[in-house]
């Protein structure tokens, strides 16, 4: 099938969920027909949960890969393992060779994502490298991800340039000997679509969304509002990171500052 490019992406913003499900299912079926050994990248976040639910309808025993960064929110770790157990997944929990603190000591904390020219070193070592190494060693020839064109300008341009289904020999800094198919069935979905699907299908909701808008590493400093979120969820970890960054701490995020001790 042919896919939508940049000029048509905005047209998908308000299309009904039923149409987006139809396209997602066609992308999944096309990817499965073209490959022999597939995997789903599962983070526990809302997009990856919807993606996983859709793919399982066509390939119930597909390999499901979760990269445990070592700095996951405890709620997310419990949720992922619960889904793996209750959905009887063909589940692989990967762990990185280096931990977050080793990476930060060498490369520093990640800057806000708008300034990224390349992915932060922590993302590479904690998530992408373990996943890519797994794909290579297990001869995976197709990876499903839950990215959407409406998550950021960068992803919109990526979908526009590549489409939601494309072959590549490179993922990040990893080169593959043979091409690997990248499949993004949720390329044209919005957050509203994701939550509507979760409600309609009565999928379990990760408790991380009780206090956060996004799922990711607990120690991530690469998004707007990370200070407020972390200071409320884990004040001790927030103080540790702020001190390591050489910054003063807001004791209650209400404007009262005190010097490091």
C-alpha span between 92 and 115 (Å, rounded): 32
Q: Are residues 130 and 233 in the same domain?
A: no
pLDDT at 260 over 50: no
Share of the chain above pLDDT 90, in %: 66
Mean pLDDT in residue range 201-225: 91
Q: Are residues 141 and 251 in the same domain?
A: no
Q: Are residues 205 and 236 in the same domain?
A: no
Mean pLDDT in residue range 50-71: 98
- Whether 30 is in a domain gets the answer yes
Q: Are residues 17 and 93 in the same domain?
A: yes
- Whether 199 is in a domain gets the answer yes
- Whether 218 is in a domain gets the answer no
- Whether 215 is in a domain gets the answer no
- Whether 144 is in a domain gets the answer yes
Q: Are residues 78 and 46 in the same domain?
A: yes
pLDDT the model gives residue 93: 98
pLDDT band, residue 5 (cuts 50/70/90): low
Q: Are residues 110 and 172 in the same domain?
A: yes
Q: What is the CATH number of the domain that holds 205?
A: 3.40.50.620
Q: Are residues 55 and 117 in the same domain?
A: yes
pLDDT the model gives residue 181: 96
- Whether 1 is in a domain gets the answer no
C-alpha span between 157 and 5 (Å, rounded): 9
Q: Can you give the residue range of the structural domain that contains 239?
A: 225-258
Q: How many CA atoms lie within 13 A of 133 on its CB side?
A: 14
Q: Are residues 199 and 234 in the same domain?
A: no
- 136 vs 249, more confident: 136
C-alpha span between 40 and 56 (Å, rounded): 10
Q: Are residues 89 and 168 in the same domain?
A: yes
Q: Give φ, ψ of 254 to 5 degrees.
A: -115, 10
What's the pLDDT tens digit per position in 80-138? 999 999 999 999 999 999 999 999 999 999 887 654 556 789 999 999 999 999 999 99
Q: Are residues 17 and 126 in the same domain?
A: yes
Q: Are residues 187 and 241 in the same domain?
A: no
- Whether 164 is in a domain gets the answer yes
- Whether 12 is in a domain gets the answer yes
Number of domains within the chain: 2
Q: Are residues 241 and 138 in the same domain?
A: no
pTM of the model: 0.89
C-alpha span between 142 and 149 (Å, rounded): 20
pLDDT at 205 over 90: yes
């Amino acid at each position: 099938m042919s896919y939508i490019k940049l000029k048509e992406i905005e047209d998908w913003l308000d299309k009904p969920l039923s149409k987006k499900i139809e396209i997602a299912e066609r992308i999944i079926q096309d990817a499965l027909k073209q490959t022999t050994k597939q995997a789903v990248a599962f983070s526990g976040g809302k997009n990856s949960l919807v993606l996983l639910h859709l793919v399982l309808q066509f390939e119930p025993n597909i390999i499901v890969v979760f990269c445990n960064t070592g700095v996951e929110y405890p709620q997310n770790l419990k949720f992922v393992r619960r889904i793996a157990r209750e959905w009887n997944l063909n589940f692989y929990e990967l762990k990185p060779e280096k931990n977050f603190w080793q990476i930060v000591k060498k490369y520093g904390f990640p800057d806000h994502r708008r300034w990224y020219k390349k992915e932060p070193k922590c993302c590479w070592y904690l998530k992408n490298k373990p996943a890519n190494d797994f794909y290579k060693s297990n001869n995976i020839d197709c990876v499903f991800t839950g990215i959407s064109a409406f998550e950021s300008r960068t992803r919109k341009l990526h979908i526009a340039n590549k489409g939601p289904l494309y072959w590549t020999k490179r993922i990040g800094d990893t080169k593959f000997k043979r091409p690997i198919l990248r499949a993004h069935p949720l390329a044209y979905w919005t957050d509203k679509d994701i939550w509507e699907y979760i409600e309609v299908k009565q999928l379990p909701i990760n408790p991380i969304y009780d206090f956060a808008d996004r799922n990711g590493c607990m120690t991530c400093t690469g998004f707007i509002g990370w200070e407020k979120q972390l200071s409320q969820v884990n004040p001790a970890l927030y103080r540790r990171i702020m001190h390591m960054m050489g910054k003063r701490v807001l004791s209650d995020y209400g404007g009262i500052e005190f010097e490091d001790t």
